[in-house]
Chain A
Amino acid sequence: EADIYQTPRYLVIGTGKKITLECSQTMGHDKMYWYQQDPGMELHLIHYSYGVNSTEKGDLSSESTVSRIRTEHFPLTLESARPSHTSQYLCASSAHEQYFGPGTRLTVT
């Protein structure tokens, strides 16, 4: 079983709040990813990182930002949450195949 963790698993928060979704992995993988899945839609890549101090935007434009200060940690931040940010966010890491965390289901009211 893959060792990749996400917290919180569920979050309901009001508009305008700043939130950080945590993702950590203990496999020593250099590559990490954030995917977003709106209800009934595909997973879309929003951010990725090749290693410490590396962050890039993915295929789907997102108002969120990420940081990679440590290999094992890849947090995602929304400075001011809006209802349009309501979605499921999945973190993944890879050496060859991608291992996924359980996701954070975010609801912005």
Chain B
Amino acid sequence: ILNVEQSPQSLHVQEGDSTNFTCSFPSSNFYALHWYRWETAKSPEALFVMTLNGDEKKKGRISATLNTKEGYSYLYIKGSQPEDSATYLCASLEYSGGGADGLTFGKGTHLIIQP
């Protein structure tokens, strides 16, 4: 079983500030890295699926980078807004040659944007 670590566990940020947090994962047998945004009482929402080393993806004010050789990904939020408050999950998918392709999740970073 993979070990996916996220830090920090929780984060309080002032509205308008930019922030970032980290996901680390085992780099052997890496297949893909997923980022999700999970608001309370809602379904986790897919943000990014990243597969290539050096990949950088952007969606509005949110962007993510990927380093598969050292096993980490950063998620950045520019100009935080109250609606960005959520738990951000990262999940790694290991290449298994046709076996299980369920995701291995970290515990998440709980982000609170303070007005």
> Do chains A and B interact in one complex?
yes
> CB distance A102 to B100 under 8 Å?
no
Alpha-carbon distance between A101 and B1 when the two chains are bound, in angstroms? 24
Number of interface residues of B (CB under 8 A): 21
Q: How large is the interface on A (under 10, 10 to 19, 20 to 34, 35 or more residues)?
A: 20 to 34
> CB distance B103 to A45 under 8 Å?
yes
Q: Which of chain B's residues has its CB closest to A94's CB?
A: B101
Instruction: Determine whether A19 belongs to the interface, using a CB cutoff of 8 Å to chain B.
Output: no
Q: Select which of B34, B102, B104 is within 8 A of A33 by beta carbon.
A: B102
Alpha-carbon distance between A56 and B46 when the two chains are bound, in angstroms? 24
A101 partner residues in chain B, CB cutoff 8 A: 43
Instruction: Determine whether A42 belongs to the interface, using a CB cutoff of 8 Å to chain B.
Output: yes
> CB distance B1 to A59 under 8 Å?
yes
A4 partner residues in chain B, CB cutoff 8 A: 43
Q: Is the interface of B mostly helix, strand, loop or mixed?
A: loop
Instruction: Determine whether B89 belongs to the interface, using a CB cutoff of 8 Å to chain A.
Output: yes
State which residues 77-109 of A face B: CB under 8 Å.
Answer: 90, 96-103
B45 to chain A, nearest CB (A): 8
Instruction: Determine whether B42 belongs to the interface, using a CB cutoff of 8 Å to chain A.
Output: yes
State which residues 33-66 of A face B: CB under 8 Å.
Answer: 33, 35, 40-45, 48, 56, 58-59
Q: Is the interface of A mostly helix, strand, loop or mixed?
A: strand
Instruction: Determine whether A2 belongs to the interface, using a CB cutoff of 8 Å to chain B.
Output: yes
> CB distance B42 to A102 under 8 Å?
yes
> CB distance B100 to A56 under 8 Å?
yes
> CB distance A100 to B43 under 8 Å?
yes
Alpha-carbon distance between A97 and B100 when the two chains are bound, in angstroms? 15
B79 to chain A, nearest CB (A): 25
Instruction: Determine whether A68 belongs to the interface, using a CB cutoff of 8 Å to chain B.
Output: no
State which residues 89-113 of B face A: CB under 8 Å.
Answer: 89, 91, 100-108
Question: Could you list 22 A-B pairs, sorted by A, with CB under 8 Å?
Answer: A4-B43, A35-B102, A42-B104, A42-B105, A42-B108, A43-B89, A43-B105, A44-B105, A45-B102, A48-B100, A48-B101, A56-B100, A59-B1, A59-B100, A59-B102, A59-B104, A98-B46, A99-B43, A99-B46, A100-B43, A101-B43, A102-B43
Q: Point out residues on B near A: beta carbons under 8 Å.
A: 1, 4, 34, 36, 41-44, 46, 49, 89, 91, 100-108
